[in-house]
Amino acid sequence: MPRLGKLLGLIILAAAIGAGILAVNFYWLAPTEVFAPPRTLTIEPGQSFREVARALSAAGVVRSGTAMLLYGEATGDARRIKPGDYAFRGGERIPDVMRHLVAGDFIVVTIVIPEGLTVHQIAERLSAAGLVCQTEFEDAALHGAVVRALGLMPLGAEGYLFPATYKFSPRATIDGILVAMLTRFYRVLTPAVEERMFDLGLTARSTVTMASIIEKEAKAPGERGLIAGVFYNRLRIGMPLQSDPTAEYSLDGAGTAAAAVRTPSAFNTYERAGLPPGPIANPGLSSIEAALYPAPSGYLYFVARDDGTHVFSKTFDEHKRAIAALKRTAERAPAQRQPGAEHRAN
């Protein structure tokens, strides 16, 4: 009978060990399903590992929060995880998930680059997000190895940093960030786009230069094509573009539009006919498309209304009448007037 009791104890012990092995295989070693799209989770500074394990389980990233907690405590990794934003694609085991949390593999910094920013302004945003040193990024974007390798000298990557929402690791390098932005731009240069540039007699730089001027001038999206048409009409007859943003570009925001147009500069299209030597901002897709497909018209002039839309004119006399009409309207409603509207009378 004692022998039977001992045998029964061994059987129970073996069963317990087997159950433990199965539990480990299922909760620790069995991968979860693959997620599409990836599931995101934010770990806040100071958040307890118990809360993290519970959140991972609720999101389906691990099969069991308890198993995750036990694994973290057993390995000591529970005290080494890094706060931040993580994206999990699924199909992983608890050791895999824990390795990501400890290494910070999926920490991302989301940065929005709107249309029309300059390299200087993009550098400011990236610096504010803690990703780069502003001056180092500007130097790399204008003179660095990446832009030299792509043949973008002597003016650098101005105009080619594609506006979009980006997600970068906090350990991202300046060259890595530049490559990501430039890659997005070059995806726009499809064979159809290159064929259209060839038909118009444009290079990539002249296309982006025109698009950057359109981006800075057009406040109403529906007017991009018309504004592009005005500038192409002026180029066709050798008339200066007379675009305030091109003159302001040399001052880098340090002066007024009125001062900018009187300041000699290679970018001052009041003084020089033709396109400026390079882009004055980083345009979005809509402005690039407007540069490639301008709206046909006989317009040579436009002047801004207070709401950002424009009055377009074919002759200088029409243009002067439009300016006078807008001034009368502004005088009747001085509180709504936007200073400088009458100056944007290209």
Q: What is the CB neighbour count within 10 angstroms for residue 224? A: 26
Distances (CA, A) of 116 to 171, 208, 286: 27, 11, 11
Strands 84-90 and 109-112, by their bridges, are: unpaired
Rg (CA), the chain: 30
Residues 107 and 82 sit within 8 Å (Cβ to Cβ) = yes
The residue-averaged pLDDT of 202-209 equals 96
In the chain, pLDDT over 90 holds for what percent of residues? 64
pLDDT tens-digit readout, 130-186:
999 999 999 999 999 999 999 999 899 999 999 999 988 877 899 999 999 999 999
All domains in the chain, ordered by first residue = 31-107 (3.30.1490.480), 110-188 (no CATH), 191-336 (no CATH)
> 243: closest CA among 205, 273, 286?
273
Q: Write down the mean pLDDT value for the chain.
A: 86
pLDDT of 37 over the 50 cut:
yes
Q: What is the dihedral of CA 180, 185, 191, 192, to 10 degrees?
A: 150
What is the model's pLDDT at position 20? 42
Confidence of residue 18 (pLDDT cuts 50, 70, 90): very low
Confidence of residue 320 (pLDDT cuts 50, 70, 90): very high
Measured CA to CA, the distance from residue 129 to residue 125 in angstroms comes to 6
